[in-house]
Amino acid sequence: MALKSLGLKYEHLWASEKQSAYRKIFEATHPDCAVVFHDMTSRPTEALEMARKRQNQLLLYCAGWPCQPYSGAGLQQGEADARSKPVWAVLLAIEIARPDLVLLENVPPFIESGKFRKIAKECIDFLMSIGNGAYYVDWQVLDAYTHGGVPASRSRVYIIATRKDRIVKPWQWPTPIPAPGLTQFLEPRAATSVADVKGRLDGMNITGLRNLDAAMRLIPKKWPGKDAARDCFVVDLKNSEQFGPQVSYDKFSTITKSHAGDLWLTHLQDRARPSEVLAAQGFQRSSVRTPAGCTDKHLYEMAGNAFCVPVVTRIFRAVLPALGYPM
């Protein structure tokens, strides 16, 4: 999506997605992808070696792996969590294919927390050792709200590795830019009746009602002069009681896989739609295909797992010219 937004021509060599519904959506949305592996931990090395042989093209590799082992919202079990294992498949792919540019993404604690310093250091050291030091490696924590120009917070660490033999000039990380308000991204609703709102509230579980009640009491204290019935506040209906209410003004808080479908817009008295959540990640709903058997639930979850497209676009815009790729 980022390459398309830059208007660049490319050949999509491979991708990996284990969850079957996500894979169907990916394949429908990216029909030009030559191979979609069902598991990144069991990709045949021959496919990766073929990519390495394309000497006349700039080879780009992007990857993320499950963030739950490192996220503050999870148990933070690190390497003890089975979901951390794909990181080694990612590093193996880089070792085999030797791409000119690597972009990796995960939550900031992966690289900033002392708890995970060992695995983070091992990953960075491994990248720097490939090809006897063939790569420059740098990383930066960027928030989509401050660096992506989107109305959603999403703080992520981006690790960039560039082949030393391809670098023609220095590059700089993107600098902060203003973010628009969420209201610009929301779709108009038909007139909402009392019965409509009652039906939505009746359909909420106890956790949702507790969060909404706490949020409505918090808003006038934290944002004096604002009116939840008129102004755009977003309430996470799924937040656990130990964390308290999660409320943001005219933007989404971090969109996650498990909470993306439960973001309540106070002024519309409605949940955010999949198209609105996707837009806050930089995706146009019209560009995402939903084949038979796939639902809005899957779209919400994928939006919560996705890279923020505008942040990646800005990184590519900065790095590609440094590798001699014309923009």
pLDDT at residue 144 is higher than 60: yes
Domain boundaries, the chain: 2-177+307-323, 182-303
pLDDT recorded at residue 193: 86
Give kind and range of the element (H or E) at residue 173: none
pLDDT tens column, 41-87? 888 877 777 776 666 789 999 998 765 655 555 545 445 445 557 88
Q: Which is more confident, 113 or 311?
A: 311
Side chain identity at 68, as an amino acid letter?
Answer: Q
As a whole number of angstroms, the distance between CA 206 and CA 183 comes to: 28
CA distances from 39 to 86, 89, 176, 282, 304 (A): 9, 10, 36, 26, 20
Q: Which of the residues 67, 123, 294, 308 is marked catalytic?
A: 67
pLDDT tens column, 229-261? 999 999 999 999 888 899 999 999 999 999 999
For range 155-159, the mean pLDDT? 96
pLDDT at residue 297 is higher than 70: yes
How many H helices and E strands in the chain? 12, 10
pLDDT recorded at residue 88: 85
pLDDT tens column, 177-231? 999 999 999 999 988 888 989 999 999 999 999 999 999 999 999 999 999 999 9
**Which class would CATH give 2-177+307-323?**
alpha beta
pTM of the model: 0.92
| 62: annotated active-site residue | no
Write out the DSSP string of 179-231: ---GGGGPPP-PPPPHHHHHHHHHT--HHHHHHHHHHHHHHHHHSTT--TTTS
pLDDT recorded at residue 80: 46
Handedness of CA 315, 321, 326, 327 (dihedral sign): positive
